[in-house]
């Protein structure tokens, strides 16, 4: 793999954002790119929403969550949530609540599950059952 990327190491090709994602140099260029940028942002939002839906479906399909599994999944959910929030400016409350369900102590788990707003109550209850089994 190092040999494949080596020719590009000295250039900026691997370090720059795609032109559609860079800030425009002036207002005139900004006006020209606005419809294209809106399409890119809409597409990225759709990808993020679908990714979140697939993740929640995969979690729901898990038969059980060990302590180590919950810890790893919480780290993965937190990473994905950070990407959505920082890179895409997309809030995803479901991921924040899921991370809370995965990281809290077992004793406080039912109370946290009952306080969820973004997640479906049945999903939150299922996470409780998976972690307690």
Dmax (CA) for the chain in angstroms is 60
Which pLDDT belongs to residue 27?
Answer: 53
Task: Give the residue-averaged pLDDT of 105-133.
Answer: 94
Alpha-carbon dihedral sign for residues 47, 48, 49, 55: positive
> In angstroms, rounded to a whole number, what is the distance separating the alpha carbons of residues 73 and 67?
10
Q: Taking a C-beta distance cutoff of 8 angstroms, is the pair 53, 47 a contact?
A: no
Q: Is it the case that residue 122 has pLDDT exceeding 90?
A: yes
Q: How confident is the model at residue 86 (pLDDT cuts 50, 70, 90)?
A: confident
> In angstroms, rounded to a whole number, what is the distance separating the alpha carbons of residues 60 and 70?
13
Which pLDDT belongs to residue 82?
Answer: 85
Residue whose entry in the numeric block shows the structure tokens 């997309």: 90
Q: How confident is the model at residue 87 (pLDDT cuts 50, 70, 90)?
A: low
């Amino acid at each position: 793999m190092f040999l494949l990327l080596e020719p590009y190491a000295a250039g900026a090709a691997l370090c720059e954002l795609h032109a559609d994602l860079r800030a425009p140099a002036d207002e005139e260029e900004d006006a020209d790119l606005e419809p294209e940028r809106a399409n890119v942002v809409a597409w990225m939002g759709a990808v993020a929403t679908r990714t979140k839906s697939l993740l929640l479906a995969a979690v729901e399909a898990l038969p059980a969550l060990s302590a180590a599994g919950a810890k790893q999944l919480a780290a993965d959910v937190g990473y994905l949530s950070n990407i959505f929030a920082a890179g895409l400016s997309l809030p995803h409350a479901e991921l924040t609540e899921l991370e809370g369900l995965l990281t809290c102590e077992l004793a406080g788990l039912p109370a946290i599950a009952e306080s969820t707003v973004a997640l479906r109550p049945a999903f939150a209850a299922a996470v409780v059952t998976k972690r307690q089994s």
